[in-house]
Amino acid sequence: MLVDPNLENEEHDAASRRDKSIAMLDLSARGKIGLLLVAVALCFGAYWLFIASPSHYRAGEVVEKAATVVRTGDSVTVPEGSPVRSRLAIEPVAAKDIKRDIVLPAVVEADPGRTVNVLPPVAGRVVSLAVQLGERVTQGQELLVLDSGDLAEAFSDDEKARATLSLTKQVLDRQLGLEKAGGAAIKDREQAQNDYIQAQSEFDRAETRLRSIGVSADQAPKTRFMSMKAPIAGSVINLQVAPGAFLNDTTATIMTIANLDTIWVTASVPESDTALVFKDQPVDVVFTAYPGEVFKGQVLFVSDVVDPDTRRTKVRIAFDNPDTRLRPGMFANVSFYAPVQSVPVVPSSALLLKDDLNQVFVETAPWTFQARTVDIGFQQGDQVALKNGVKVGDRVVVKGGVLLGD
């Protein structure tokens, strides 16, 4: 049988169209299912966001609140259930007996009360010098001879004042005698008295001038040469003059004499340790010049003034020095033996630094704390002695205190 080719092609096209329609229907069904799934997912998300999420956030808020602390004024409270509690360590402030010995460098100094600066009483030229630097002198020993025109002038003024006084005394006596006899006027006697008083005053001034120079008006012969004497016994520790020098400044030191029978050992104590040093405190001193020898002494005095630059206090120890073994300028180390002290101590981990101040958190009620500023006395190992701010028995945070900070 013969088949019409056109008919066969039409049947093939129809079959192809049916297949495409079925495929399109299949794809349409699949798209609807996908859209349905997307819609379900959106509904579930909306349910979680608008219905289930509040309980989730509320749970988060509970966790957040449990991890924080509550601040009321200057107090900090750690609420029950907070994980901060497990991270805090609290211990009472302990008392510890501590004996602190301080070793400080020191220097030997001459006793200012036994040291004299020698000044020229008058201007003049040094004719001869009788001592040398470092020489030991006795009181009244000649130091130098000075050729002074001022000395000669002082003698001359004294002689003139003496003569004037004698003359005015004679005139006054004569006027008194005439007045008794009725042959003198009262005004003449008053003038004579006034002249005598002025002459007496001038004579006293001249005598005082000679005494201030260090010579006597009765010294003979009246000369321009002056011998300067040692005011005290001691050693010449400073010399600023030589023969032939002209001295025209009576306020300038020409030599210094120090009596070294007693010397001072001076140490500078830090301001923080001043309370550990006191008068009559026993000390041991070891001098660099005598390393194997310990000199026992006592604190002579503690200065009432703190040096504003070094923040240190001068402390002096006096030693008898008959053989002059100890000499100004020598170095030494001084050991101060302080008494045993009972002081409050805390671990160094309890300290927190805020605004350049040291603080600790003190428990004022169960799980309630207050920050207190403390002053550190000193530190030994991991223990810190506190001067103030807390007392023995106070409970302080020794670990995790940073969690209570601002």
CATH code of 376's domain: 2.40.420.20
Would you say residue 45 has pLDDT above 90?
no
Q: Check residue 308 and give its pLDDT.
A: 93
Within a domain: 9: no
105 and 237, same structural domain? yes
Percent of the chain with pLDDT over 70: 82
133 and 200, same structural domain? no
Would you say residue 119 has pLDDT above 90?
yes
335 and 345, same structural domain? no
Please state which of the ranges 134-138, 197-201, 212-216, 295-299 shows the lowest mean pLDDT: 212-216
Within a domain: 54: yes
CATH code of 164's domain: 1.10.287.470
Query: Which strand (E) or helix (H) includes residue 22?
Result: helix 5-47
To which residue do tokens 């260090």 refer? 214
Would you say residue 145 has pLDDT above 50?
yes
236 and 334, same structural domain? yes
Q: Contact at 8 Å (CB) between 142 and 229?
A: yes
Within a domain: 285: yes
254 and 123, same structural domain? yes
pLDDT digits (tens, 9 = 90+) for 194-221: 999 999 999 999 988 888 888 876 765 6
CATH code of 111's domain: 2.40.30.170
Residue that is last in its domain, among 304, 322, 339: 339
349 and 202, same structural domain? no
Global pTM reads 0.58
Q: Contact at 8 Å (CB) between 146 and 241?
A: no
Q: How far, in Å, are 72, 166, 209, 239, 249 from residue 118 at the CA level?
A: 72, 37, 18, 10, 12
326 and 273, same structural domain? yes
Q: DSSP readout, 330-375?
A: -EEEEEEEPPPEEEEEEEGGG-EEETTEEEEEEEEETTEEEEEEEE
Would you say residue 63 has pLDDT above 70?
no
* Average pLDDT estimate for 51-62: 42
Cα separation of 168 and 173, whole Å?
Answer: 9
Among 273, 324, 352, 328, CA closest to 111: 328
Q: Check residue 318 and give its pLDDT.
A: 94
Q: Highest mean pLDDT range out of 49-53, 94-98, 234-238?
A: 234-238
380 and 322, same structural domain? no
Within a domain: 243: yes
Residue 101: CB atoms within 10 Å: 10
Q: Check residue 287 and give its pLDDT.
A: 96
332 and 241, same structural domain? yes
* HEC secondary structure over 79-127: CCCCCCHHHCEEEECEEEEECCEEEEEEEEEECHHHEEEECCCCCEEEE
Q: Which residues span the domain enclosing 90?
A: 72-97+341-404
Q: Check residue 91 and give its pLDDT.
A: 94
Total domain count for the chain?
4
Q: Check residue 329 and give its pLDDT.
A: 93
Within a domain: 164: yes
329 and 244, same structural domain? yes
Tokens of 360: 């600790």
Q: Contact at 8 Å (CB) between 171 and 198?
A: no
Within a domain: 4: no
Q: Band of the pLDDT at 387, cuts 50, 70, 90?
A: confident
Residue that is last in its domain, among 188, 207, 223: 223
State residue 118 phi and psi, 5-degree precision. -90, 125
Within a domain: 372: yes
Tokens of 296: 């026992």
Residue that is last in its domain, among 61, 88, 108: 61
205 and 107, same structural domain? no
106 and 250, same structural domain? yes
Within a domain: 202: yes
